[in-house]
């Protein structure tokens, strides 16, 4: 059961009314946002660190606060079938509701130092900044936007009022009820499918696989949100041919052949710095397995691999969008998304192609409003 936040003097000015919670025994509250179902005493924070029981009510401590803003290429999310070549204003906050030992953004997602959040911005300010910088979309990224869902939803609504699209880069670890509201305001999402065993999720992420599979199916079949999937291949942990085969078969069977799948290279980080980087041959093998499983659009990432970065027509095999990492080298797809060689409709969202944004990363500061 949700409750209105009581604006008493004990509530810090930075706290924002949280949603998706209910009161339980012993004067505790339970967070209903994600499958962790954190049960919190007064003053206690959830596993994500940013959702807190304050006086018997849930608050979000990072609403309106960011770890920074950058203009990125859309390909960096990665999204290869959502307005290729366009720019996107990216930002995150702090904290995460998973505990991945291999986190590539651990300095943000694992941070419990709220002083890292130096940039303040209202949802309306973010939308205005996207327009001012010529970014066609805004991305909620760097840490998982599920944990700042209230802020992300309000920002998405403000962006849509200005004609700006919204994107989430997320692990998809969220309960069905908040997911309905979250994905209803998103134009696209890249969801990390971190592995295809529950053992991996439990031991290396502190979560479970099935809730993520359920959300992937929900997004694809019951929303208008464009979906792409990324799996970071970690040597010896989730890169066996058998596991990749099972993952690809599930995507083909449950989602269909037109959902793009990205296999990306791991680099040693956070609590798994003792492992080697992913060999390029592992990515190439994974891509071949997924294509043989019937998937039409399979990519490699975090490596220079022209073939693995190229969008091919699934019917005539023409190279329609050739990429080198985040750079588009060749573009041969009309605005209607049909292959100019055979007329096959390519899955995704496309428009008239101009000059691509390229591989630049442009840090920006928002004016405080």
Q: Decide which of 5, 34, 60 is a domain's last residue.
A: 60
Given a contact cutoff of 8 angstroms between Cβ atoms, the answer to whether 126 and 161 are in contact is no
Q: Is residue 258 part of a domain?
A: yes
Q: Is residue 8 part of a domain?
A: no
Structure confidence at residue 15 (pLDDT): 85
Do residue 127 and residue 200 come from a single domain?
yes
Do residue 55 and residue 198 come from a single domain?
no
Do residue 91 and residue 38 come from a single domain?
no
Do residue 284 and residue 236 come from a single domain?
yes
Structure confidence at residue 254 (pLDDT): 98
Q: Give the tokens for residue 212.
A: 């993520």
Given a contact cutoff of 8 angstroms between Cβ atoms, the answer to whether 230 and 262 are in contact is yes
Structure confidence at residue 13 (pLDDT): 37
Q: Is residue 4 part of a domain?
A: no
Looking at the DSSP assignment, which residues form a beta bridge with residue 91?
69, 140
* CA–CA dist 101, 252 (Å, integer): 29
Do residue 131 and residue 50 come from a single domain?
no
Q: Is residue 144 part of a domain?
A: yes
Q: Is residue 287 part of a domain?
A: yes
Do residue 147 and residue 44 come from a single domain?
no
Q: Is residue 1 part of a domain?
A: no
Please indicate if the annotation marks 34 as binding a ligand: no
Domain with residue 254: its CATH number is: 3.20.20.70
Do residue 43 and residue 110 come from a single domain?
no
Strands 226-233, 188-192: pairing kind: parallel
Do residue 55 and residue 74 come from a single domain?
no
Structurally, the chain folds into a number of domains equal to 2
Q: Is residue 5 part of a domain?
A: no
* CA–CA dist 296, 314 (Å, integer): 6
State the 10-residue block means of pLDDT for the chain, 369 residues long.
32 74 97 98 96 96 91 97 98 93 69 56 95 97 96 98 98 98 98 98 97 98 98 97 98 98 90 90 98 98 96 98 95 97 98 91 78
Residue 125 φ then ψ, to 5°:
-65, -35
Range of the structural domain that residue 20 is part of: 16-60
The label of the residue with tokens 């573009």 reads: 331
Structure confidence at residue 367 (pLDDT): 67
Please indicate if the annotation marks 159 as binding a ligand: no
Do residue 295 and residue 342 come from a single domain?
yes
* CA–CA dist 250, 345 (Å, integer): 23
Please indicate if the annotation marks 100 as binding a ligand: yes
Do residue 282 and residue 137 come from a single domain?
yes
Strands 21-23, 137-140: pairing kind: unpaired
The sign of the CA dihedral 194, 197, 50, 31 is positive
Q: How far is CA 206 from the centre of its chain?
A: 18
| Close Cβ partners of 252 (under 8 Å, ≥ 6 residues apart) | 293, 294, 295
Do residue 53 and residue 159 come from a single domain?
no
Q: Is 182 exposed, middle or buried (0-12, 13-18, 19+ CB in 10 A)?
A: buried
Q: Is 219 exposed, middle or buried (0-12, 13-18, 19+ CB in 10 A)?
A: buried
Do residue 309 and residue 202 come from a single domain?
yes
């Amino acid at each position: 059961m949700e409750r209105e936040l009581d604006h008493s003097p004990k509530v810090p000015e930075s706290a924002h009314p949280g949603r998706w919670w209910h009161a339980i025994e012993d004067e505790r509250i339970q967070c209903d946002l994600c499958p962790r179902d954190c049960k919190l005493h007064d003053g206690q924070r959830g596993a994500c660190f940013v959702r807190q029981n304050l006086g018997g009510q849930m608050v979000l401590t990072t609403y309106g606060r960011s770890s920074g803003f950058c203009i990125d290429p859309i390909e960096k999310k990665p999204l290869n079938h959502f307005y290729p070549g366009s720019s996107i204003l990216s930002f995150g906050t702090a904290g995460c509701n998973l505990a991945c030992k291999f986190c590539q953004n651990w300095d943000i997602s694992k941070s419990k130092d709220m002083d890292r959040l130096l940039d303040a911005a209202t949802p309306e300010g973010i939308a205005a900044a996207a327009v001012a910088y010529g970014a066609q979309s805004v991305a909620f990224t760097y840490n998982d936007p599920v944990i700042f869902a209230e802020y992300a939803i309000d920002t998405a609504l403000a962006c849509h009022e200005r004609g700006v699209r919204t994107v989430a880069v997320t692990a998809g670890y969220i309960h069905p009820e908040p997911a309905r509201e979250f994905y209803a305001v998103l134009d696209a999402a890249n969801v990390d499918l971190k592995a295809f065993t529950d053992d991996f999720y439990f031991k290396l992420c502190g979560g479970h696989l099935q809730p993520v599979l359920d959300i992937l199916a929900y997004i694809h079949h019951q929303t208008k949100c464009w979906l792409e999937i990324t799996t970071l291949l970690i040597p010896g942990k989730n890169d066996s041919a058998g596991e990749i085969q099972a993952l690809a078969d599930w995507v083909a069977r449950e989602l269909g052949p037109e959902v793009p799948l990205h296999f990306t290279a791991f680099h040693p980080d956070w609590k798994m710095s003792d492992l080697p980087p992913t060999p390029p041959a592992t990515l190439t093998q994974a891509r071949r397995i997924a294509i043989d499983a019937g998937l039409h659009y399979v990519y490699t990432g975090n490596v220079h691999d022209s073939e693995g970065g190229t969008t091919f027509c699934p019917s005539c095999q023409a190279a329609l969008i050739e990429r080198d990492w985040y750079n588009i080298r060749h573009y041969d797809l009309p605005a209607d998304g049909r292959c100019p060689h055979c007329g096959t409709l390519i899955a995704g969202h496309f428009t008239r192609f101009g000059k691509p944004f390229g591989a630049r990363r442009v840090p920006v500061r928002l004016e405080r409003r």
